[in-house]
């Protein structure tokens, strides 16, 4: 028994589930469920109306089907749209009041909710299934006027801010999954950084799906007011289950004049077992708008988990001189599939964007980079540079590159480069000659391949991500 457990842990060490009683909304998707969610969260009427409007829209929308990884039809009526630990009827005021089982879960995950153990000064908002369980370092942040709390809390405490920005980047009329999220979103993080404030620490959200048959629909809204700066990290895991679970989050970023938002993700949802059974469907909509002049949004993502990853963190460069960046490592192994990339939409003058994407596919997996660079007629003097490299390991996997390039302005430049290759025998030989075994050699080469992106991650994450890259590829060589 012990040994078996160890094996499992080696494969996916976050695969355990927490045995905790939970309250769920009735199965299925209908107006009553939406009203139930809204009621449990004690939401104001405008938000319920907003949700219902999204639901109405959802009924006429069709699921998109142009993506490369196909999946069996999802029965939206067979899902729970709300699940919360039972002890959460009233959100605990203090950490001590929190269910010890929850604390234990986060301890296992390596996420310290206990502020005394202060890890590197990162403020964490932990989301368990549908609710946010704890937010740390609140006092320090309040001192700077920074709001960092769950979105449900923000709806209660800062309704004006939420009302002003919610749905401005991803409107409820967007595509199917974004609209679904708007109708049934449960929790997520809310960040507001006031004018001229440089956030003194990394903000981080940790997402965990625990209950089975549940979809997780969180919504994150980050607003960086004029001249502010914030760096935000996101991590995610889920237990190992045989069925596929849906995760359809929406993330909205708003950067006003001279503001900068750095958003990093290390996505490690359960990828399914070696034969491709189970795993998370990660269908996430992430979009940021550089609303003000001289603003900057930078996405960094390390995608190693999920059975299917389907997301395009995007930047709308509306303000003049604004900058959008996208750094991505996507690794697929076994039967994982990914269709990911970015969209850079240049609207303002002198806007710049940079895309660095590294894809690695091994085993029987399939990886697609799909990106859009669109320079509109008014985006004078804009620039884009795109580089996407793919690395193939073995001849059972696929790597695809599908960039869409639209240039409608004669003063703007777009450059795009892409390569596909495998690890060369020469490189392997060189490393092995110097005493590394094959696996170490591959690890070293892959880390070098990803270095440009790993460098963009905040320190604490970079170390973890580097290890993750190694683990994800274990057993794929030789």
Partner 1 sequence: MENKIKTDFEKTFKNFPLKEELDFKKNNLENFIKKGFPGKKMESWKFSDLSQIINRNLGELNFYTDPALKNLIDKTVIIKKFEHNKIVFINGKIEEIDFNFEEKDKIQVSKGLSNQINSFEENSLLSLNNAFCKNFYNITIKTNYSMKKPLIVYHMINKDISLTTVNSQLSFYLEKNSLLKIIDIYDEKSEKNFINTFYNFSLKENAILKNFKIDNSQNNNIKYSFNNIDQEKNTISETFILSNGSKFLKNEINCNLKGKYSSAFINGIFSLNTDKHHEIRTSVNHLVENTKSYQLIKSVLDDKSKSAYQGKIYVNPEAQKTDGYQLSKCILLDKNTEFNAKPELEIYADDVKCSHGSASGSLSEDSIFYLRSRGLNYKQAKKLLISGFFLDVIEKITDEEVKNYIKEIMEFN
Binding site for partner 1 (CB under 8 A): 66, 377, 390, 392-422
Which lies closer to partner 1 via its Cβ, residue 112 or residue 394? Answer: 394
Contact 274, 334 (CB under 8 A): yes
Residue 281 CB, shortest distance to partner 1, in Å, is 22
Which lies closer to partner 1 via its Cβ, residue 319 or residue 359? Answer: 359
Residue 72 CB, shortest distance to partner 1, in Å, is 22
DSSP states along 49-87? HHHHHHHHHHHH------SSS--PPP-GGGSBS-EEEGG
DSSP states along 143-170? HTT-EEEEHHHHHHH-HHHHHHHTTSSS
DSSP states along 355-407? EEEEEEEETT-EEEEEEEEEE-TT-TT-EEEEEEEEEEESSS-EEEEEEEEEE
Which lies closer to partner 1 via its Cβ, residue 168 or residue 424? Answer: 424
Which lies closer to partner 1 via its Cβ, residue 19 or residue 426? Answer: 426
Residue 393 CB, shortest distance to partner 1, in Å, is 7
Residue 12 CB, shortest distance to partner 1, in Å, is 25
DSSP states along 308-354? EEEE--EEEE-STT-EEEEEEEEEE-TT-EEEE--EEEE-STT-EEE
Compute the distance between CA of residue 300 and CA of residue 323 in angstroms, rounded to an integer.
14
Residue 358 CB, shortest distance to partner 1, in Å, is 15
Which lies closer to partner 1 via its Cβ, residue 395 or residue 433? Answer: 395
CA nearest 158: which of 148, 143, 172?
148
CA nearest 391: which of 347, 415, 355, 427?
427
- Determine phi and psi for 233, rounding to 5 degrees: -120, 150
Which lies closer to partner 1 via its Cβ, residue 245 or residue 384? Answer: 384
Which lies closer to partner 1 via its Cβ, residue 217 or residue 369? Answer: 369
Which lies closer to partner 1 via its Cβ, residue 155 or residue 392? Answer: 392
CA nearest 339: which of 354, 361, 324?
361
Which lies closer to partner 1 via its Cβ, residue 27 or residue 406? Answer: 406
Residue 407 CB, shortest distance to partner 1, in Å, is 4
Compute the distance between CA of residue 323 and CA of residue 312 in angstroms, rounded to an integer.
17
Residue 474 CB, shortest distance to partner 1, in Å, is 18
Residue 386 CB, shortest distance to partner 1, in Å, is 9
Which lies closer to partner 1 via its Cβ, residue 169 or residue 392? Answer: 392
Site of tokens 């060369």: 424
Compute the distance between CA of residue 396 and CA of residue 361 in angstroms, rounded to an integer.
10
CA distances from 26 to 34, 37, 57, 247, 396 (A): 10, 10, 22, 18, 42
Which lies closer to partner 1 via its Cβ, residue 47 or residue 418? Answer: 418
Residues whose CB is less than 8 angstroms from the CB of residue 96 and which lie 6 or more positions away in sequence, other chains included: none
Residue 259 CB, shortest distance to partner 1, in Å, is 29
Phi-psi region of 42 (alpha: psi -120 to 50; beta: other; left: phi over 0): left
Compute the distance between CA of residue 461 and CA of residue 85 in angstroms, rounded to an integer.
28
Residue 70 CB, shortest distance to partner 1, in Å, is 15
CA distances from 236 to 104, 190, 212, 267, 271 (A): 17, 17, 16, 5, 12
Residue 395 CB, shortest distance to partner 1, in Å, is 5
Residue 462 CB, shortest distance to partner 1, in Å, is 28
Which lies closer to partner 1 via its Cβ, residue 309 or residue 361? Answer: 361
Let me know if 135 is exposed, middle or buried by CB neighbors in 10 A (0-12, 13-18, 19+).
buried
């Amino acid at each position: 028994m012990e040994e078996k457990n160890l094996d499992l842990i080696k494969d996916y060490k976050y695969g355990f589930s927490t045995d905790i009683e939970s309250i769920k909304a009735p199965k299925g998707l209908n107006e009553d469920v939406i009203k139930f969610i809204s009621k449990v969260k004690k939401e104001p009427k405008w938000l319920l109306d907003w949700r219902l409007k999204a639901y109405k829209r959802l009924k006429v929308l069709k699921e998109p089907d142009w993506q490369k990884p196909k999946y069996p039809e999802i029965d939206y009526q067979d899902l729970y749209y709300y699940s919360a630990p039972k002890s959460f009827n009233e959100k605990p005021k203090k950490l001590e009041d929190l269910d010890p089982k929850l604390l234990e879960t986060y301890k296992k995950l390596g996420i310290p909710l206990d502020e005394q153990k202060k890890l590197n000064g990162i403020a964490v908002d932990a989301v368990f299934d549908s609710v946010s369980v704890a937010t740390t370092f609140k006092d320090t942040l309040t001192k700077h006027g920074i709001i960092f709390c769950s979105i449900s809390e923000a709806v209660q405490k800062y309704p004006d801010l939420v009302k002003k920005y919610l749905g401005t980047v991803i409107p409820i009329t967007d595509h199917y999954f974004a609209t679904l999220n708007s109708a049934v979103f449960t929790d997520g993080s809310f960040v507001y950084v006031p004018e001229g404030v440089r956030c003194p620490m990394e903000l981080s959200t940790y997402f965990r799906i625990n209950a089975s048959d549940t979809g997780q629909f969180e919504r994150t809204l980050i607003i960086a007011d004029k001249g502010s700066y914030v760096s935000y990290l996101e991590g995610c895991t889920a237990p190992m289950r045989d069925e596929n679970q849906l995760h359809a989050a929406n993330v909205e970023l708003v950067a006003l004049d001279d503001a900068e938002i750095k958003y990093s993700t290390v996505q490690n949802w359960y990828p399914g077992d070696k034969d491709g059974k189970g795993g998370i469907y990660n269908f996430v909509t992430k979009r940021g708008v550089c609303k003000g002049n001289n603003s900057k949004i930078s996405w960094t993502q390390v995608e190693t988990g999920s059975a299917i990853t389907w997301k395009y963190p995007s930047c709308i460069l509306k303000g003049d001189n604004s900058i959008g960046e996208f750094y991505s490592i996507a690794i697929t192994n076994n039967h994982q599939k990914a269709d990911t990339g970015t969209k850079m939409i240049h609207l303002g003058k002198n806007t710049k964007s940079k895309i660095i994407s590294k894809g690695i596919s091994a085993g029987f997996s399939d990886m697609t980079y799909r990106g859009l660079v669109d320079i509109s007629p008014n985006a004078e003097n804009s620039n884009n540079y795109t580089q996407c490299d793919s690395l193939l390991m073995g001849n059972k996997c696929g790597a695809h590159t599908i960039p869409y390039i639209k240039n409608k302005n004669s003063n703007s430049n777009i450059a795009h480069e892409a390569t596909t290759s495998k690890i060369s025998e020469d490189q392997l030989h060189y490393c092995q000659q110097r005493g590394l075994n094959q696996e170490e050699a591959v690890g070293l080469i892959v880390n070098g391949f990803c270095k440009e992106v790993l460098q963009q991650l905040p320190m604490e994450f970079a170390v973890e991500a580097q290890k993750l890259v190694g683990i994800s590829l274990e057993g794929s060589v030789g």
